[in-house]
Amino acid sequence: MDHRPGQSAARDDRFRLGLVGAGRMGRTHLDAIKTLHGVSVEAVAEPREEARAALVHDGVRTFESLEEMLGHCELDGLLVAAPTGVHLETVRRAMAAGLPVLCEKPCGLTVAEATECAKVTEEAGGTLQVAYWRRFVPRLQELRARIARGELGDILAVDCQQWDASPPPVEFRAGSGGILVDMGVHEFDQVRWLTGQEFGPVKVAVSRVGASAGDPDCAQIVAELDGGSTAAVSLGRWHPAGDSCKVEVFGTRATESIWFLEPVTGDAVFLEALRRQVEDFARSVSSGEGSGATVTDAVEALKVAEMAGEAVSEAS
């Protein structure tokens, strides 16, 4: 069976995805993609019987493993929403099968795993995009363009807040890399993408309220950026009104504040960004031109998370 994208796409205009993992995020991707005409989820690999059974009305073929799915389906790419701890082995298998991958963040638990993802992708001459969905939020794209045009002047500070409605399930949390990896990478990538600057050393304060197995429920990170700006990132797992994400950029000519994920309207913003992201991935596979995060971006975001983790260890 040949899984290379060009051949099958010629017979059918839709870009046919195999989804790996149908938990919280995999289901959200399914919801987003089902309204698209140009991209479809053809099959799902999911080891949990209960999760497969929940897909019965979605009209997708389900398989117990990636291996089984690859053996039975012609696909144009994989969307990986399996736990972070299996990102590397999934990317490796996909590259061996010649399949492009859109991998959920962080693309491995550590810098070493993400670097290995980059290596296997390069050796295979494959495509690996990392799902940093903020890059597909129109208001943030506009903010980035304004910063690049100098409309905010010199950037003094980028302040980001990500507060989840409530902590994730304990089992998820145990394999997530903790708050700095699981949540922090979104903000680290967003700061890099908005400003074009890299993080210098970071300082971190973590709350002692509500920690689970050593993983804090709140972390506050501050950093100098290599272009002379500063970043402040606020992460928290308790925002009872609903998930919330904000960014505020302070420049010498203007300040811009965007509450881009609000508790009431956030789902629609999130789903729309996921749709734009997967369409961009399909486009990048066919044309080689995509605007999503690369695996190099994923490595950089994880480097900041690891620096932050070391700062916490040194302080305690």
Ligand X SMILES: NC(=O)c1ccc[n+]([C@@H]2O[C@H](COP(=O)([O-])OP(=O)(O)OC[C@H]3O[C@@H](n4cnc5c(N)ncnc54)[C@H](O)[C@@H]3O)[C@@H](O)[C@H]2O)c1
Residues at the interface with ligand X (CB under 6 A): 20-26, 45-48, 51, 66, 81-84, 86, 104-105, 131, 133, 172, 182
How far CA 101 is from CA of 83, 106, 107, 134, 246, in Å, comes to 15, 13, 11, 18, 29
Helix residue ranges, H only, 196-294: 266-287
When the beta carbons of 155 and 191 are compared against ligand X, the nearer one is: 191
Residue 254 beta carbon to ligand X: minimum distance, rounded to whole angstroms: 29
Count Cβ atoms below 10 Å from residue 268 Cβ, excluding itself.
Answer: 11
Q: Which stretches of the chain are assigned E, i.e. beta strand?
A: 15-20, 39-45, 61-63, 77-80, 101-104, 128-131, 155-163, 199-206, 218-225, 230-236, 244-251, 255-261, 293-294
**Taking the mean position of all CA atoms in its chain, how far away is CA 38?**
21
The least distance separating ligand X from the CB of residue 119, rounded to whole angstroms, comes to 20
Whichever of 88 and 155 has its CB closer to ligand X, that residue is: 88
CA distance 78 to 223: 35
Of 45 and 70, nearer to ligand X (C-beta) is: 45
In the complex, the smallest distance separating the C-beta of residue 107 from ligand X, rounded to whole angstroms, is 8
> Please, what is the minimum distance in Å from the beta carbon of residue 271 to ligand X?
11
Distance in Å, CB of 80 to ligand X, minimum: 8
DSSP 168: P
> In the complex, what is the shortest distance from the CB of residue 235 to ligand X, in angstroms, rounded to a whole number?
13
Give me the residue whose beta carbon is nearest to ligand X. 23
Cα torsion 283, 288, 294, 295 to 10°: value is 110
Max CA distance (Å), the chain: 59
26 or 216: CB nearest ligand X: 26
User: Nearest approach, Cβ of 130 to ligand X (angstroms)?
Assistant: 10
Contact 5, 64 (CB under 8 A): no
Number of residues assigned to the chain: 316
